[in-house]
Amino acid sequence: MSGTTADTIYKRLWIKGDRPLRKLLPAVSIAVFTVTASFGCVASVHDSAIAAEVTPSDASANLQPDREPLDLDALDPAKTPAGLITAARISLTRLTIPSLWWLQTQIASEDAYGSKLLADWLAYPNSGNRPGRVDLVVNRQFWSLLDYLDRYAFIHVFGEAARDYGYNVRVFDGQATLLGASTCDFSNVSIDALQKRQLAERANPSDRVPFDINAIACSILLDSSGKGGLRGGSRQPGAGAAKALDILQP
């Protein structure tokens, strides 16, 4: 991958004053290096392949998304179970956990994504120290127009936002086909403490609680087929070979 291509990617992701997307730039740099280095290491499984980005430790190599299929019925407002958060359910009196609306607005303002890509989401709350889960539902037509790095960036920024609340992320199309996921290891942290930290920081940013959120190991699985897709196993330590994303069909 040329320096010009990498520079173009950086410019596309840079949003003035946008902290989550600014934080993504080093990760995209790693992704560019990983994909370029592994281009000759091709692994084909059925008709699609998964490129894995593992950070920060080898332990994340075993992280896999939940196997539960997407509950399409729950996307119907009349059938959404109590306790689940959707894109249409926002509290007017307190912070909703996880809070993804600001990020949704930022993504929609980006030309690469637009307002029609993200259709809805279902957020299942955590239970004790069992992480919560966010199932994002995207428009498959618009998703297919994204290149590999745009898809990676989308999953990465939503994965980071959800991680800060103790949630994992999966991405589906409207037919309940799994397209990607961000899965983190919360076994060594208190999810309740993570959420209290977010609430405290938003209420009073000066009350920031010292905590290295990046110490939480996470793994991104991404369907690398389609426009701009690159197939290959990552050569990062513990990343392993490409894996199929066909285990979560309803």
pLDDT tens for 11-39 read: 444 443 444 454 455 554 444 434 333 33
Higher pLDDT, 167 or 90: 167
* 234 pLDDT above the threshold of 60: no
What pLDDT does residue 54 have?
A: 40
Average pLDDT of the residues in 73-102: 77
* Residues in CB range of 29: below 8 A, 6 or more apart: 6
Q: State how beta strands 167-173 and 132-138 pair.
A: parallel
**Number of residues that this document lists for the chain:** 250
Contact 168, 184 (CB under 8 A): yes
Closest CA to 151 of 70, 65, 63, 224: 224
What pLDDT does residue 127 have?
A: 83
What pLDDT does residue 130 have?
A: 86
What pLDDT does residue 95 have?
A: 55
